[in-house]
Amino acid sequence: MATHLVFLTICIFIDLSSQCSITGYPFENHLSSETPYRLVSNKSFYRIQYDGCTPKKIWMVIRHGTRNPSISKIEQINNRLPDIRDFILENDNLPNGFIKNRDLDLFQKWEPTLNAESKKKLTREGREEMLLLAERMQSKFPELFDNIYSNTSFKFKYTHTQRTKKSALYFVTGLFGKNNAKSVWFPEPLKNDPILRFYKSCTKWYKEVKDDPKLKRINKAFEQSAEMLKTLKVINERLNFSRVSSNLSADDVFLMYKTCAYETAWNKQSKSPWCSPFTEEELKVLEYAEDLELYWQDGYGHELTYKQACPAFSDMINMLISNETYPKVTAYFTHSGTILKMLAHLGLYKDSENLTATNYGKMANRKWRTSFIDSFGSNLAFISFKCNKNNKILTLHQEKVVRLPSCPNSDLCDIKEVISYYSESIEHCDLTSMCAI
Ligand SMILES: *[C@@H]1O[C@H](CO)[C@@H](O)[C@H](O)[C@H]1NC(C)=O
Ligand SMILES: *[C@@H]1O[C@H](CO)[C@@H](O)[C@H](O)[C@H]1NC(C)=O
Ligand SMILES: *[C@@H]1O[C@H](CO)[C@@H](O)[C@H](O)[C@H]1NC(C)=O
Ligand SMILES: *[C@@H]1O[C@H](CO)[C@@H](O)[C@H](O)[C@H]1NC(C)=O
Ligand SMILES: *[C@@H]1O[C@H](CO)[C@@H](O)[C@H](O)[C@H]1NC(C)=O
Ligand SMILES: *[C@@H]1O[C@H](CO)[C@@H](O)[C@H](O)[C@H]1NC(C)=O
């Protein structure tokens, strides 16, 4: 206990944003797709080098940085959380072992801060995530990321949204500085970009996966699971809400969890009061609810979901094998839905069993953890290297080396091996027929 406290104290003085999370605040490891990038990234500025190899090009997809919630979430926050806050403050049984005086002070000061206009906008934290990501990538690969902009050397693209546009702007600011960033050329964003958001025009995927009532039924089934019912009971007891008039529903508890996640992402320095009712045990259950949903919506649950990522995969291969020297850098600013489908397309973070509403316990050590693989600012990068006569590919996810299933025993994978392993994707990528109903 004593060493734990010392560690925490040192952490708070040295660096609020990095390793401390592991020991200090268990909730920071279970925030699912609202996890800020600072909690999962590799913050190294060291150059990435392999003996006898020279980096030639890089192709990357980047989820926009930390943003505000959707309009419906903002409305729920504004309509429901002030009441819950008041119930907590009026409750004579608090503070208790979980809700401390410090938390009550934070609740006392808490007000909703967002309106309809701020929906999904990139936040201060999101801007910083992109600046720092760009700076680190530049120092990891100085041969690729010149610090002087050239329209031939760099290809940037973002989707038709404020959050990806701003993410791109802050990323190029990180590379070239504030003034030079102004001269960077971006193509006009497309509503349904066939590479950055391939799924947007996939009618069959919407019909059979995204809009299929089955997806909601899986979520509902997990809400009825023993783990979720226990979570609700525990939170209601802890807050002494078991009184009929004010007890919390599953929706309330999810809303509190999401607000805990957003406020943690937005503010490095202060703890969100909405995290205080939870211990790691409940957070793991709430995290699983989101992992489950995204597994069936954007992951391994349905073949079509990840099969349709082939245009993005082919774009990457074509860029890396092309004989053209330029562009050296391709960077696409996009969304969680693209990153997750790409990960599943590659066969990364694949568990041997499906996530289901009934196997929470069994999947405790699953690879499919959106808190790690789908944070804000998540990114996937492929770097081609020339090693003597051979062309190889290095893959980074969250700036960490990951090994593709085509080369489980080495970081660098021969491009020929990649092409042969994923030949089905490269040779049969006809979205028109894949997505027709
Ligand atoms: C940059 O290149 C694109 C073609 O890739 C071209 O359409 C655009 O006009 C160029 N922009 C500038 C500022 O040179
Ligand atoms: C909850 O509140 C009631 C009074 O409203 C009190 O009698 C009871 O002891 C409290 N329970 C806990 C667990 O704090
Ligand atoms: C909350 O109260 C309602 C009745 O008003 C009850 O049906 C429900 O089971 C309660 N939920 C919890 C989590 O205690
Ligand atoms: C690249 O050049 C080599 C030799 O000049 C040629 O054999 C190869 O087909 C070219 N590759 C592409 C993708 O154009
Ligand atoms: C996972 O679910 C899919 C779709 O229902 C099914 O086709 C597949 O066989 C399942 N995989 C396993 C390992 O159970
Ligand atoms: C982070 O990057 C550095 C340098 O590239 C590397 O040595 C280290 O192992 C990486 N850490 C993780 C967790 O991937």
pLDDT for 98 equals: 84
Q: Is 419 in the pocket of ligand 4 (CB under 6 A)?
A: no
Q: What gap in Å lies between CA 228 and CA 15, rounded to an integer?
A: 35
Choose the CATH number for 3-434 among 3.40.50.1240, 3.40.50.1110, 3.40.710.10, 3.90.1170.50. 3.40.50.1240
Domain-wise residue ranges, the chain? 3-434
Residue type, 109: K
Q: Is 201 in the pocket of ligand 5 (CB under 6 A)?
A: no
Q: Between β-strands 154-158 and 329-334, what pairing exists: parallel, antiparallel or unpaired?
A: parallel
Residue located nearest, by CA, to atom 7 of ligand 4: 323
Q: What gap in Å lies between CA 357 and CA 219, rounded to an integer?
A: 7
DSSP letter for 112, please: -
Residues in the chain: 437
H runs (alpha helix) in 118-207: 124-140, 162-176, 178-181, 203-205
Q: In the chain, how many H helices and how many E strands?
A: 19, 7
Under a CB-based contact definition with an 8 Å cutoff, are residues 315 and 332 in contact?
Answer: no
pLDDT, one tens digit per residue, over 28-37 is 899 999 999 9
Residue type, 411: D
Taking 70 as the pLDDT cut, the residues of the chain under it are 1-24, 242-245
pLDDT for 245 equals: 64
Q: Taking CA 400 as the corner, what is the angle to CA 399 and CA 405, rounded to the nearest 5 degrees? A: 120
Residue located nearest, by CA, to atom 13 of ligand 1: 185
CA–centroid distance for 207 within its chain: 25
Under a CB-based contact definition with an 8 Å cutoff, are residues 301 and 354 in contact?
Answer: yes
Token pair belonging to 11: 């952490």
Ligand number nearest to the C-alpha of 240: 2
pLDDT, one tens digit per residue, over 285-339 is 999 999 999 999 999 999 999 999 999 999 999 999 999 999 999 999 999 999 9
Q: Is 247 in the pocket of ligand 3 (CB under 6 A)?
A: yes
Q: Which atom of ligand 4 is nearest to the CA of 322?
A: 13
State the distance from the centre of ligand 5 to the C-alpha of 353, rounded, in angstroms.
8
Q: Closest Cα to residue 275, out of 128, 102, 119, 116? A: 102
State the distance from the centre of ligand 6 to the C-alpha of 10, rounded, in angstroms.
23
Ligand number nearest to the C-alpha of 140: 6
Q: Which atom of ligand 3 is nearest to the CA of 241?
A: 14
Q: Closest Cα to residue 334, out of 157, 130, 120, 127? A: 157
Token pair belonging to 385: 């290297």
- Residue 332, strand partner residues: 61, 157
